[in-house]
Amino acid sequence: MADIVGAIFIALSCICGTPTCNCIDQYRNFNDDVGELRRELDTLTNRKQDIESRIEVAEARGGQMVRREVQDWLKQVQDINVDVQAFLEKVQGIKWYKRACLHKLVCRKMNVVRKMYEKGSFPEDLLIERAPARGNRIPTEDLVGEISTKEEIWGYLMGDEVGMIGVCGIGGVGKTTIMKHLHNDLQSETRFQKVIWVTVSHPLNVFELQKKIAGAMGERLLNDDEDDDGVMMRAGALMDIMGRVKFVLILDDVWEKFSLRKVGIPDPKAQNGCKVVVTSRSIEVCSYLSCKIVKVQPLSQEESLKLFLNTVGDVVLEVPGLEEILELIVEECAGLPLAIVVIAGSMRGVDDVNVWRNALAELRDHVKSVKDSNDEIFKRLRFSFDRLDSLEVKNCFLYCSFFKEDYLFSRRELIECWIDEGIFDGLPSREAAYDRGHAIIDRLEKNFLLEKDYIFPLRIAVDGVKMHDMVRDVAITSIGLEFGYMIKAGMNLVELPDEHGWVKDPKKLSLMANNILKVPLSLSPKCSTLSTLILSSNPNLSEIPESFFGEMLTLKVLDLSGTAIETLPNSISELKNLSTLRLQLCKKLKYLPSLANLKGLKKLDLHRAGIEVLPQGMEMLISLQYLDLLFCPNLKEIQTGILLNLSSLQYLAVCFLRETTIVRNFEEVARLKKLETLECNFDDIQHFNYFVNKFKDFQSATAYSLVVGSAKDMFRKSKHELVITDCEIEEECIVLPNKLEDLWIMRCKIMGSSLSKIVLLEKANELRTCNINSCEKIECVVELDSSSSSSSLRCPVFDKLEELSLSELPRLCELVRVEGEATPSHVFSNLKKLHVMLCSGIRKLLPLELLQTLQNLESITVLFCHQMQEIIASLDSDASS
């Protein structure tokens, strides 16, 4: 044996060109060398992770970007890691006689690793100042006449002498519109790192203001105490956060004096380069804050006429005899842009001179008793309300004032409230009510009585609306009182008004969004005609006495959502006219009295409530159309047969979870013949598949929203939505429901590097929206193989896709990957919107050859993709860079 070994090492020495003793040493030390290489690689990897952590912390503060040499180093370390790991796997089972020859290769790789480790010391900072990271652009109207005022404010923003700017003027004169334009202009200005817009609530709430500013900075203040100590602690934290960047802070609609330092806003001055802009109707407020005051004046007659025509349409000038009447109407608008656009909106589409002449007479009648500056705008806005063509639309408009000032609600939320109020009772279905609701919102938007805005759940824009504060004031003070409405929403009330503070015999009462602690035991207000009572969003309200509802026997809508209520009084059972009971987010609620007497109840909302059992008498609710039992963690059972008795159900939201017995209710759901909308949550793919197979032949529901995995509240954007969260998605593991339009995949382990390889998507040929979030393995969206003879490629699952959102995908490096030289055809041919956010690895978004298929693309949004170099890759781009 020794002779054989000796012969082998002699042969090795000849082959390798090294002395035999060296070969023997290399053979014997090979395992030690490989072990050392592993340790050196681990050390390098640790340095890489430390640097990435430092970068992550620094980037979270905003205003900086990674140095190019640091980016290159990180990329090289990644490449070295892949190369060495592959080498180590290769030599793990290598034959003993080959080990000596590989010794030099091990040493070379070890030297490369060591040198790369030394290069990672980086004596300079890892990050440099970046082009400013600002905010989202704000929807706004065209400016007419305010150009000089806008330019004056811009001059102060760009100069060093003025830090505090106060934009003053009467309500409706255009202060907010001017600042919206300046906010959007600042998005492309490199002077500032952050541009923050905050609408200040009225009355001023320092706690809410601090939260809004921190949220706009991308931070969260951990201290939620509302006492003086809590305010002081948050102010210190906010001061530290804002002190790191050069910012412009726009505080819109400030009514009261306050201290910047108490809120936590650093004093804007030349040394820090920061600016604070305040819009207010009060010069006193701006003077108190030491602002440079800029007064916004009403428009001239010429400017007013131009704005009016821009809104109503130039076509009215073609109507004979109308020009003089139109000029007189514009004159009555007193140069107030809000009044001009609202009145013009109410006259859009009218081409009858007699109607215009009558409108002029009505408008003059509204404004002839002007007393002060508020009345100037109030009377004109009241005219636009009176011109709404039906009581239905007027009621819809007035209901928007029930919410607190500047409340932003989704269309769905608002329409649901209108349905609860019985406004659409004459319509044959819930779908018809939604269609009517959307049409009314469009009408109110076109009349400028509602403003379009956006909500951003999960970083996806959803259409929302809100009321201009002046319009809301008119709805409450000038109109609401006539209708018998008492609205005290968002006024920081800590107790219910006593009986002397109530409107006499109110018809609707909103006390939402206050800090009411309790209802006095002795309070039993005389409300013989009250139909709606809203006490929602009073988070500390824990008890309601039995006597409170004693004289509210006409009550139809009761909303206690978002309170700390633990039990409902038994007197609820006597409210036989009650049609809507909203108890969502009542997490402490354990007990509901019997509902057997509430045979007219149409809606029961227990979304995220703490109930442990359903109330007695549920089976008697023969009129119930809406039942939400989603995410009630303590509810373990829906008794068999209850759902079957609720034969009028149009909307059902329920969880089918492993640990509950609710799974027995699958078949009962499928037998609900009037069901239009179904929302379900499953924590188990197996149960989800079973349900979908059972449900596929059930054609009654026109809409569904299904969630698989951890529970999440969603803002439904389509009629057919599937959300998959925190699951492993393997081949053929999920059965897709029919007509799927909107797909969300979040925090999932996807077995494959692209979406197009997921078998479950092959049948989703109606898909309109696709949202992929936090799926680590995704490298591209579409992966096409051109090994076939065809010169063009397509991916049918994305043929009809209109919106694609990709966020927090660290390995995403390209949108479309084509193996070979064929050109993709029809991929994303209907795509309108593309959103890419927090994808740290992507450098080039769209290959040039894909552009010919994107003829319908309207917008591209790219946020926080710090290595992004090109949106559209140029012809000479190196694909590997």
> Each residue of 125-149: pLDDT tens digit?
676 544 334 556 777 777 777 788 8
The CA-atom distances, in angstroms, between 779 and each of 469, 853, 858 are 47, 21, 24
Confidence of residue 659 (pLDDT cuts 50, 70, 90): low
Whether residue 841 is predicted with pLDDT greater than 50 in this model: the reply is: yes
Each residue's pLDDT tens digit, 291-302: 999 998 888 888
Which pLDDT belongs to residue 219?
Answer: 73
Nearest to 261, CA basis, from 284, 283, 281, 290: 290
Instruction: Copy the structure tokens of residue 50.
Output: 């430390």
Each residue's pLDDT tens digit, 799-820: 788 999 898 888 888 888 776 6
Which pLDDT belongs to residue 63?
Answer: 45
Each residue's pLDDT tens digit, 215-263: 787 776 666 676 778 888 888 889 888 888 899 999 998 988 999 999 9
Whether residue 831 is predicted with pLDDT greater than 50 in this model: the reply is: yes
Whether residue 571 is predicted with pLDDT greater than 70 in this model: the reply is: yes
Average pLDDT over every residue of 509-522: 88
Confidence of residue 555 (pLDDT cuts 50, 70, 90): very high
Average pLDDT over every residue of 607-622: 92
Confidence of residue 420 (pLDDT cuts 50, 70, 90): very high
Task: Please state, in angstroms and rounded to a whole number, the distance separating the CA atoms of residues 540 and 548.
Answer: 18
Task: Please state, in angstroms and rounded to a whole number, the distance separating the CA atoms of residues 390 and 793.
Answer: 54
Q: Are 638 and 663 in contact (CB under 8 A)?
A: no
Task: Please state, in angstroms and rounded to a whole number, the distance separating the CA atoms of residues 821 and 838.
Answer: 30
Q: Against a cut of 0.85, is the pTM above it?
A: no
Average pLDDT over every residue of 575-595: 94
Confidence of residue 74 (pLDDT cuts 50, 70, 90): confident
Q: Are 372 and 340 in contact (CB under 8 A)?
A: no
Each residue's pLDDT tens digit, 717-740: 678 888 888 887 775 577 788 888
Whether residue 404 is predicted with pLDDT greater than 70 in this model: the reply is: yes
Q: What percent of the chain has pLDDT over 70?
A: 81
Sequence letter at residue 219: E
Which pLDDT belongs to residue 17?
Answer: 45
Confidence of residue 437 (pLDDT cuts 50, 70, 90): very high
The CA-atom distances, in angstroms, between 787 and each of 34, 249, 294 are 39, 56, 67
Residue with tokens 């290598």: 94
Q: Enumerate residues 6+ apart whose C-beta is below 8 A from 360.
A: 325, 328, 329, 332
Which pLDDT belongs to residue 386?
Answer: 83
**What's the mean per-residue pLDDT of the chain?**
81
Average pLDDT over every residue of 558-562: 96
Which tops the pLDDT comparison, 740 or 498? 740
Average pLDDT over every residue of 817-839: 77
Which pLDDT belongs to residue 648?
Answer: 92
Each residue's pLDDT tens digit, 452-495: 887 765 545 567 898 887 788 888 887 888 888 999 998 888 88
Instruction: Show me where the domains of the chain are located.
Output: 2-129, 147-295, 301-386, 406-466, 720-881
Nearest to 499, CA basis, from 472, 527, 471, 532: 527
Strand, helix or coil for residue 127: strand
Whether residue 672 is predicted with pLDDT greater than 80 in this model: the reply is: yes
Sequence letter at residue 739: K
Q: Of 465-474, 756-765, 826-835, which gets the smallest average pLDDT?
A: 756-765
Confidence of residue 535 (pLDDT cuts 50, 70, 90): very high
Confidence of residue 83 (pLDDT cuts 50, 70, 90): confident
Q: Are 793 and 786 in contact (CB under 8 A)?
A: yes
Confidence of residue 5 (pLDDT cuts 50, 70, 90): very low
Which tops the pLDDT comparison, 363 or 5? 363
Task: Please state, in angstroms and rounded to a whole number, the distance separating the CA atoms of residues 157 and 193.
Answer: 13
Whether residue 364 is predicted with pLDDT greater than 50 in this model: the reply is: yes
Which pLDDT belongs to residue 157?
Answer: 93
Residue with tokens 């150009």: 147
Whether residue 663 is predicted with pLDDT greater than 70 in this model: the reply is: no
Which pLDDT belongs to residue 752?
Answer: 67
Which tops the pLDDT comparison, 480 or 68? 480
Whether residue 691 is predicted with pLDDT greater than 70 in this model: the reply is: yes
**Domain 147-295, architecture per CATH:** 3-Layer(aba) Sandwich (3.40)
Each residue's pLDDT tens digit, 621-655: 999 999 999 888 888 888 888 888 898 999 999 88
Top-confidence range, 566-570, 824-828, 838-842, 867-871 = 566-570
- Could you write out the DSSP letters of every residue in 547-611? GGGTT-TT--EEE-TTS---B--GGGGG-TT--EEE-TT-TT--B----TT-TT--EEE-TT---
Q: Say what the alpha-carbon torsion angle 723, 725, 729, 732 is, to the nearest 10 degrees.
A: -30
Nearest to 767, CA basis, from 795, 740, 744: 740
Q: Say what the alpha-carbon torsion angle 93, 98, 103, 106 is, to the nearest 10 degrees.
A: -40
Which pLDDT belongs to residue 2?
Answer: 38
Which pLDDT belongs to residue 134?
Answer: 53
